[in-house]
Structure 1
Amino acid sequence: MIRGIEHIGITVSDLPQAEQFFIQALGASVLYRIVPPGDPQQQVEGKGMAPLNGFPPEMNVTGLAMLRLANGCNVELFQTQPAVQDRSAHPGQPGINHFSVYVEDIHQAAEKLRTHGATLFEGPNDCFAQETGKGNQTWFAMTPFGVLIELITLPSALKYDPPAQHTRWIPQA
């Protein structure tokens, strides 16, 4: 049922700086920016995300980019307002805040998590922006020990920003 880790999410205080680190130090490439930094029209309010994944309602997402790491999982970078301090914690703090597993059947996977003590957030939720497509969905769950997991299924093609040279890595069936 689980194919593998599809992406990890990391909240940072400076999205352009983090992108450059991943590009230069790890050979990553930017696939797309759902929320380009410095574009207040594209910000995502925390109160809208809170019921989906526990994001602090008093914060806003001011930057959100998807990067590809060679032949491995993708990395999703978040920037928030108010800005975070660079230390690990929940999705509104810097550091790895969740990991995502690719699933074929999101309902079956969610039920398995629930059976093993996870608390599910609202879902499943249709993907948006460059990730929109028939059947493309996510669903977040909090483990009993406080780790946020995102279930994701992307059966439809994604849209990539013009300079993207790679496609998003999806674990093989």
Structure 2
Amino acid sequence: MNQEVKRKVVSAERGLPGLRGTDHVGITVPDIEQATDFFVNVLGCEQFYDLGPFQATDDWMTKHLNVHPRTVMKKLRFFRCKNGSNYEVFEYEAPEQKTSPPLNSDVGGHHLALYVDNIEEAVDFLKSNKIKVLGEPTVRSEGPSAGQSWVYFLAPWGLQFELVSFPGGKGYEKDTSSRLWHPANRSFDQ
């Protein structure tokens, strides 16, 4: 059995049974209407539906969501963002709620990366919409990410996003027929 086939057999035998992939990413925002404007009018996501408000009088919120028992989920809203994961966006009100997003270097820090066909055009669009872009795109010319350009930007409330683009592929692809998932390879319209 060759090494690539053996690796696929091993990976199929471990992990979460029935896993297909990421369905959605949950994001808490300070103002759901501001977030909706950003997700729809800047990113180009499609708004789907709302739920809420919800508040429990017992410990349901702690038991099921690991938050303060008196937390109020004021509203949640679902968005579809082109050919990637959906976003479930929450607006909460909670005792002792932290209102600053973590930095990438903080435990729990994170960012959402969005693939674009033309990074320069996307950066110009963000800047024209008064979105803070952090520096200029970094271009990778060596290593497994060779061929990729990336740059970070911030949502109006400080959530970190990243634009990535690698229209000619990435360097690691020359060493294997396996591929990382890529939004341009899957379309809901197919």
Q: TM-score range by the shorter chain?
A: 0.3 to 0.5
- Give the TM-score, by structure 2 length: 0.40
* Structure whose alpha-carbon radius of gyration is higher: 2
Higher share of residues assigned strand = 1
TM-score, normalised with respect to structure 1: 0.43
If asked which structure has higher relative contact order (CA below 8 Å, sep 6+), I would say: 1
